[in-house]
Amino acid sequence: MARQTRSNDWGFPRWRGYGSTREASQVRLCDRHGCTEPGDRPAPKAPNKPDRWLFCERHAAEYNKNWNYFQGLSKEEQAAREAEEARDASAFGQAKHYGWGGAGDGSRSRDEMRALDVLEVEVDAGFEEIKQAYRRLAKANHPDVAGDDPDAAQRFRAAHAAYDVLRKVEERRGSLSD
């Protein structure tokens, strides 16, 4: 009788995930002498060299505490490296047109920013200011007050929609309790 050499990994469904094996995975330990934690934080061995140590989080923090990034470079080389890194990081500034890169402190979405603009309040306005601005605009543009002005009715609807957006956000944050 022939010995079976086939594994469970053929056909459908696969019994194990792709890339999984029966062997234990290899874990590189921290390069600090005597440390038994996994070394998953790379740190340069020398300035301007590609060689890296692999430390655990605690030893990487200790190693990087006294690290001088510009050590061994002349003033011109330091300025060139700083300019190159500023150029490479400028892509983040170019992405301001996306919702997460907009104005404010980064905690508001694009829809919230539009709603604040409709209500004519500052970006860092609190919910009480938002509520007061909404009431002011609603009183000024309410169809009963403005009469047959179609622009006023449109402004009233826009203010109500903007307030509704900001109120729902405040409810999700859990700080609205009325």
**131-178 pLDDT tens trace:** 999 999 999 988 888 777 888 888 899 999 999 989 988 888 776 555
Q: Any residues with CB less than 8 A from the CB of 51 and at least 6 apart, and which?
A: 44, 45
Q: pLDDT digits over 60-108, tens only?
A: 888 877 777 777 889 999 899 888 877 776 666 665 555 444 445 567 7
Confidence (pLDDT) at 169: 86
Confidence (pLDDT) at 85: 78
For the chain, where are the E strands, in sequence order? 41-44, 52-55
